[in-house]
């Protein structure tokens, strides 16, 4: 039997009788009792089987360990049918009973070989069995717990009288017993100390468990409140985009455009914009510093600044628009916090002039990919300083002509920096180019779906490492 099958069998035995239990404490106690019973059952069965094979004439050991195995089998059966109180009472009672019965039976059958140790040692074993009820019953189960403890203590206190009754006490064999009363009293005191100490520790553990559960509950509620707030923030952030889904953009009249927008968390530091000026289209893909909530704040500020820069621009030119947006963001931060913010945004801003068949591209730390007739060209634009900083005074402007049917692609660094694949490597720029070339022959909307499938396959069972925003536009 494999380790997995053994583990499955152990788990099934541990869960006996717990299917309808709602209380965590009660469920835990039943699991502990099942595990104790299962271990003792296996041990008693193996010992009894070994004695049958090696010492078939030793009926004493066979009968008592066989009886113990049967009793523990009954215990597990009772748990399996939901009789959890009776089963645990049986478990707490059977061990001290076996100890008393086996000791008396041994001294009756073998009076010549017994010694005082065989009389006193089992008594101390019985002291240890008193802990079992404390492990398998909770404080809420007062009646069965008291009954189990009481039965164990009664059996321990009857240890001496029962031996005297059957004539197998040391005195009955002519052995001198010194300070028997002291031994009895010390045994009782030891049992009381063990019970009291165990009760104290269990009670202390219950108090700390209660505090931990309360803290966990409070933490879960706070997490729910925070998540609820963040999800509402996502709705606000999505409202700033020109369409939360590709279908929304298509309905707005951009049948030649696909946008793949994949936040790492609920909200994103990436965003995109689409501005329509008739035969001129202004497309932006932006990656703000960070992701999650900090990135989302940056994206909202940057998005508003970019919209205002476009609205106030005297001439629709990507380099001038970026310069204006940079100034607006810098002013906003300096006004709010009183010191210079060095965080920034990586941006690709592209103007498609359908009359002139011309592309104008400007940006920072980003690239524009142009695919035509199965060939891909990569364009970069630079700035003196890529951060949000008033010292940025110039952005490069890249211009080139295109032919109808060509396509442009822009992406943030979330995709090239994404780990995945067989070797858990970055997706990389080379693979991005290959992917854009492969999808360029497909209809635009299908390109976005294939890109998403490619990314999901690349990530596999891993985690997305950053926000992603990818835009593709078919030129007409």
Whole-number pLDDT of residue 200: 62
pLDDT greater than 70 at residue 249: no
Whole-number pLDDT of residue 77: 84
Task: Report the pLDDT averaged over residues 458-464.
Answer: 91
Task: Give the largest CA-CA distance in the chain.
Answer: 122
Whole-number pLDDT of residue 253: 47
Sequence-distant (6+) residues with CB within 8 A of 356 are: 401
- Mean model confidence pLDDT for the chain: 79
Give 211-220 pLDDT, tens digit per residue: 777 888 888 8
Give 387-441 pLDDT, tens digit per residue: 444 456 678 899 999 998 899 999 999 999 999 988 899 999 999 999 999 999 9
Question: 422 phi and psi, to 5 degrees?
Answer: -65, -40
Whole-number pLDDT of residue 172: 66
* Range in 82-91, 193-202, 441-450 with the lowest mean pLDDT: 193-202
pLDDT greater than 80 at residue 170: no
Q: Which CATH number fits domain 244-474: 3.90.1150.10, 3.40.1350.10, 3.60.40.10, 3.40.190.290?
A: 3.60.40.10
Question: 259 phi and psi, to 5 degrees?
Answer: -130, 125
Whole-number pLDDT of residue 247: 44
* Of residues 278 and 455, more confidently modeled: 455
Residue of 438, 445, 376 lying closest to 406 (CA atoms): 376
Token representation of residue 20? 């309808």
Give 185-240 pLDDT, tens digit per residue: 555 666 666 666 656 666 666 676 677 778 888 888 888 888 887 777 777 777 76
**Exposed e or buried b per residue across 35-54, where buried means at least 16 C-beta atoms within 10 angstroms of its C-beta:** ebbbebbeebbebbeebeee
Whole-number pLDDT of residue 171: 66
- Distance from C-alpha of 182 to C-alpha of 194, rounded to nearest angstrom: 18
Give 12-39 pLDDT, tens digit per residue: 888 887 777 777 777 777 888 788 778 8
- Its sign, for the CA torsion 45, 48, 49, 50, is positive
Q: Where are the domains of the chain?
A: 3-217, 244-474
């Amino acid at each position: 039997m494999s380790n997995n099958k053994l583990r499955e069998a152990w788990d099934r035995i541990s869960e006996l009788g717990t299917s309808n239990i709602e209380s965590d404490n009660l469920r835990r106690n039943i699991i502990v009792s099942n595990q104790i019973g299962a271990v003792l059952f296996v041990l008693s069965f193996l010992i009894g089987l070994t004695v049958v094979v090696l010492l078939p004439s030793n009926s004493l050991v066979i009968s008592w360990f066989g009886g113990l195995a049967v009793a523990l089998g009954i215990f597990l059966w009772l748990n399996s049918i939901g009789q959890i109180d009776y089963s645990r009472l049986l478990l707490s009672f059977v061990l001290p009973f076996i100890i008393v019965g086996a000791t008396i039976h041994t001294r009756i059958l073998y009076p010549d070989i017994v010694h005082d140790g065989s009389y006193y040692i089992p008594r101390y074993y019985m002291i240890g069995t008193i802990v079992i009820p404390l492990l398998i019953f909770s404080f809420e189960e007062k009646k069965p717990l008291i009954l189990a403890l009481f039965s164990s203590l009664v059996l321990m206190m009857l240890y001496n009288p029962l031996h005297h009754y059957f004539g197998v006490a040391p005195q009955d064999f002519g052995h001198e017993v010194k300070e028997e009363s002291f031994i009895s009293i010390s045994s009782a005191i030891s049992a009381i100390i063990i019970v009291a100490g165990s009760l104290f520790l269990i009670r202390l553990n219950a108090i700390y468990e209660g505090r931990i559960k309360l803290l966990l509950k409070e933490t879960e509620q706070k997490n729910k409140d925070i998540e609820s707030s963040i999800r509402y923030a996502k709705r606000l952030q999505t409202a700033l985009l020109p369409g939360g889904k590709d279908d929304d953009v298509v309905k707005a009249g951009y049948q030649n455009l696909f946008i793949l927008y994949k936040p790492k968390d609920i909200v994103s530091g990436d965003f995109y914009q689409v501005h329509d000026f008739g035969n001129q289209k202004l497309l932006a893909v932006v990656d703000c510093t960070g992701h999650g909530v900090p990135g989302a704040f940056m994206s909202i500020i940057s998005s508003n600044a970019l919209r205002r820069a476009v609205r106030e621009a005297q001439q629709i030119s990507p380099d001038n628009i970026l310069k204006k947006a940079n100034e607006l963001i810098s002013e906003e931060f300096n006004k709010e916090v009183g010191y210079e913010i060095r965080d920034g945004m990586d941006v690709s801003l592209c103007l498609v002039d359908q009359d002139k068949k011309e592309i104008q591209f400007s940006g920072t730390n980003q690239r524009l990919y142009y695919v035509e007739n199965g060939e891909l060209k990569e364009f970069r634009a630079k700035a003196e300083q890529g951060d949000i900083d008033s010292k940025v005074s110039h952005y490069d402007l890249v211009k080139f002509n295109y032919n109808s049917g060509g396509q442009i692609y822009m992406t943030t660094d979330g995709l090239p920096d994404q780990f995945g694949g067989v070797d858990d490597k970055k997706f990389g720029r080379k693979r991005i180019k290959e992917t854009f070339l492969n999808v360029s022959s497909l209809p635009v909307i299908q390109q976005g779906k294939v890109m998403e499938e490619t990314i999901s396959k690349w990530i596999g069972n891993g985690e997305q490492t950053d926000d992603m925003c990818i835009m593709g536009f078919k030129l007409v």
